[in-house]
Amino acid sequence: MTDTEADTQAFWTDVDRHVLRYGTPFTPRIITHAAGSHVHTADGRRLLDFTSGQMSAILGHSHPDIVATLGRQAATLDHLFSGMLSRPVVDLCRRLAESLPAPLEKTLLLTTGAESNEAAIRMAKLVTGRHEIVSFARSWHGMTQAAANATYSAGRKGYGPSAPGNFAIPAPDAYRPDFTTPDGTLDWRKQLDHAFGLIDAQSTGSLAACIVEPILSTGGVIELPLGYLAALKRKCEERGMLLILDEAQTGLCRTGTWYAFERDGVVPDILTLSKTLGAGLPLAAVVTSPEIEQEAHDRGFLFLTTHVSDPLVAAVGNTVLDVLVREEMDQRAARLGTHLRDGLLGMQKRHEAIGDVRGRGLLQGLELVLDRTSKQGSDEMGTLVTRRCLELGLHMNIVQLPGTAGTFRIAPPLTSTTEELDLGLEILDRAIGEVTPRYLAT
């Protein structure tokens, strides 16, 4: 055994002995460094990253502007007592307000998506004086208490009862419609009316908020139909509820606009941002109106954390905005997204196992099925394609949930080149072509 082989074996032995598993299988490679659209392994391989890390590194890995900001800011001001404010924090709050429609003007800076959703739900409950929360049955909003209570795609079993007053409504899945029009397409209006009929029947009269993603990512890259968000906002207003939009993965240019909700002309009462805001660094935000913020303050809103308003990551957030504006990343994501989608649609014509292609901008979903009539998915087939992609040099992320087994969530960095997208498409095409015919034949 060589020294390198011994070191690798020792690494995985340490993993088995000392790393607590947290719900996702570990990629069987030791990652040593990353740059741009690629991550590099200890055995000298370079993997094209089609997930932007954890769907976060929208400017690629180790972007030079972010590296420079981290060095400069860490050397001058990194962390403060939570009641102290610094220029990077206030500048970022102001700049987020400038990027958003009125009345979204007041921002709280935190660390993770779960934390920002926790704060948003807590604020909504306090401001409305109610406690009931509605979210999609295929939602993912995080693993802290209130966020986990509003998450239905995974992680609900074995932990005891969730908080009272959490309700799920069906996601408007156009590929697998439950309510249909005469031509067989999804009748999302009827579905939404039915869903809120059930909510009204179950509610104790204490509906506080509805929290949703404009595109359900972990739920299978399900895009809300045009008009749905406006109808949902009306449902909320009719019941005195607040609408919280979780744009952890869709915010800041990924879908081809600065925020995904812009397409619908609907402004949420509370907006949460995370992953993309820090471009891979732990930074999140809750943004709301002055009126809601004032009411929350008057009622004693408390969300004091160790890293609230930290200057180091706030400085990174400002740099992210600098790059997004300078490089016109919304337009770039729209162009690259069209290129990526065209490639996926072409692939669908070549492979019977590809049942659906969906998404927006540089957040695309590709779903593998056993056959296009039944639309039955397969965890195993998706896993085999993922494994083959990794062998060929492409890191992919697959959603393995009931009803969506085999959905690839494709989210390359906004800094990707067309050549990198073409390489990823070529590898995915080859992996599907090698794996699925043999699998379907068995």
Q: What is the pLDDT of residue 378?
A: 87
> CATH 3.90.1150.10 region(s) of the chain?
3-62+328-441
Q: What is the CATH number of domain 3-62+328-441?
A: 3.90.1150.10
Q: What is the pLDDT of residue 4?
A: 84
Dihedrals φ, ψ of 350, to 5°?
Answer: -90, -20
Q: What is the pLDDT of residue 404?
A: 62
77-326 topology per CATH: Aspartate Aminotransferase; domain 2 (3.40.640)
Half-sphere exposure of 143 (CA within 13 A, CB side): 6
Question: Per residue of the chain (442 residues), what is the pLDDT tens digit?
Answer: 787 889 999 999 999 999 999 988 899 999 999 999 999 999 999 999 999 999 999 999 999 999 999 999 999 999 999 999 999 999 999 999 999 999 999 999 999 999 999 999 999 999 999 999 999 999 999 999 999 999 999 889 999 999 999 999 999 999 999 999 999 999 999 999 999 999 999 999 999 999 999 999 999 999 999 999 999 999 999 999 999 999 999 999 999 999 999 999 999 999 999 999 999 999 999 999 999 999 999 999 999 999 999 999 999 999 999 999 999 999 999 999 999 999 999 999 999 999 999 999 999 999 999 999 999 988 889 999 999 999 999 999 888 666 566 899 999 999 999 999 999 999 999 999 999 998 888 7
Task: Tell me how far the alpha carbon of residue 422 is from its chain's centroid.
Answer: 23
Q: From CA 403, how far away is CA 421, in angstroms rounded? A: 28
Could you give the residue numbers annotated as active site?
140, 213, 246, 249, 275, 409
CB contact at 8 A, 136 and 171: yes
> CATH 3.40.640.10 region(s) of the chain?
77-326
Kindly state the DSSP code that residue 263 receives in the 8-state scheme: G
- pTM (2 decimals)? 0.97
Q: From CA 297, how far away is CA 89, in angstroms rounded? A: 19
